[in-house]
Structure 1
Amino acid sequence: MAEQGKQKPVRWLNPASGYLTGYAYTLNPYIGCTFGCSYCYVRRMPLALFRGSPWGEWVEPKRFDGDSFRREWRRAIAKGGLTVFMSSATDPYQPAEHAERLTRRVLEAMAEELPQFLLVQTRSPLVLRDIDLLRRFGERVRVSMTVETDLEAVRKELTPSAPPLAARLRAIRELRLAGIPVQAAISPLLPCSEAFPALIAAAVDRVVVDDLFRGDGSGGKRSAQLQMAERYRALGAESLYAPETADRFVEELRRHMPANSVYFGQEGFLP
């Protein structure tokens, strides 16, 4: 009989599926996310729908046991082809990470026995804190920094709790200077200025673009449920709420950047 009150070990590596089928696993250090972006597809998943509190107003750090994590990690390495997407349903560098240092502890353990590839998906300059660890991964890591627009007014309306855009662009530049592979994730593309393609091209040498239709995991249904068309209308940008907007943006971006440096959708996130 199991000992009363004994907690089950936390499972860290979950088989990737759907949009992330190019990875072996996803890894989410937190449950919930206080950035609470208006367009986030997780809002329409059971994790958020049945919580009882609005998405963006809560976060739970997973219980980290170094020995348990390392055992799970080594088993995955032994199987071969260990590729990890961190994170698919939260931001590993959201405000809670300042105190919890959970993502850092996970990276420390990973760095002892490197995976084949790790993608770190974030929108937070806090990732700069861990440059010392990320350097240990060499070419086996890529930081993917979300920068959906160059207009602070749009950010404040659609993602008010997310870090300022200038801070994210500065983080991209500092990661590059530190030799860390990095890309800008214009995902999803939000209303922006005509200068945005040139701005991004000057900041980074790899970009992935996605939109609210092909990138929400449901062909645009989740975005519709989240009333994104109405949000665009409130911004006076209703005419931009169409897949063609992202297509035009990609074309313009490719005029500013070398061949094979601009990707669209799933391809740009693959190892």
Structure 2
Amino acid sequence: MTESGEIYRTSLLARITTLLAVSGLLAMQGGPARADPDVVLPSVARVMRAVCGHAVAEEARTCRMKDGRIAEYWYGAMFAADQGWAVGFATLPAPDQDPQAPDARTLVAATFAQTQAEGRIGWVFKDVQTLPGRIGTGNRNGDAPEVDDSLGPVFRPLPGGRLVMGLRTTAFGNQGSQSFAFLVLRFTPAPLQWRLSGGLAAGSDDTAGCGAPEDGPCNLGASTGRLEILAGAAARDSGAPPAWPPLRVTLTGTVPGPDGKVRPATARDARTYRFDEAAGVYR
């Protein structure tokens, strides 16, 4: 594992194979787990059954909560820490929002542990949790921001089975503009818990608002961010690294300059975030 963490740009099966090889920590009953061509995420319907607490149709991507709100499947991922895990996320309108077009949504996580029987790997449901905090929609129709899985999530296993995960999201604004971010999530296995720990801006693309080529050069930027999970320096008083490592977002592309024209993104546009224990978020 490099000090800047790992960014996985593989298919679902390749990602699991990479995790097994890199972490070396997927110890299951009967010995180390092996990558299995049939390993897949828990089904969407299984996640939604866990989220809403009642049976749903096999093709269902939504279900009704006890309070009447509609939960929608959002994203799923596998990862390795002290063992193999899978998580499925669903979103629903935050309690004080218009259920038809909310400006913020609540995140629910259904967590599964990897198990092995007769040489085959499967999943056992462990817990469902409504996460404190909320995510902004950034979309006029109230949908959750889209998760860009073309490069996969960014994550780093930490001691004690803990994990930091960054999900790449895209929100859509007026006139075709897009804003990118990394939604930061933290996982601890004992007690099993997910925490929503902030959203980090990671570029934007406003070039849809540019005029025709004959109108002159476009001064609207287009940039994307890369998230690195760093190895934190040891504290001077304790000599121990931070419990939750610092994060850094670097940009590529173009950004607006002070003269109103776009310029290439440089190292000075990078930003490092550190975990604020009191607030429970990265700042």
Q: Structure 2 length as normaliser, TM-score? A: 0.27
Q: Structure 1 length as normaliser, TM-score? A: 0.28
Bigger relative CO (Cα 8 Å, ≥ 6 apart) = 1
Greater per-residue helix proportion: 1
- Higher CA-based Rg: 2
Greater per-residue strand proportion: 2
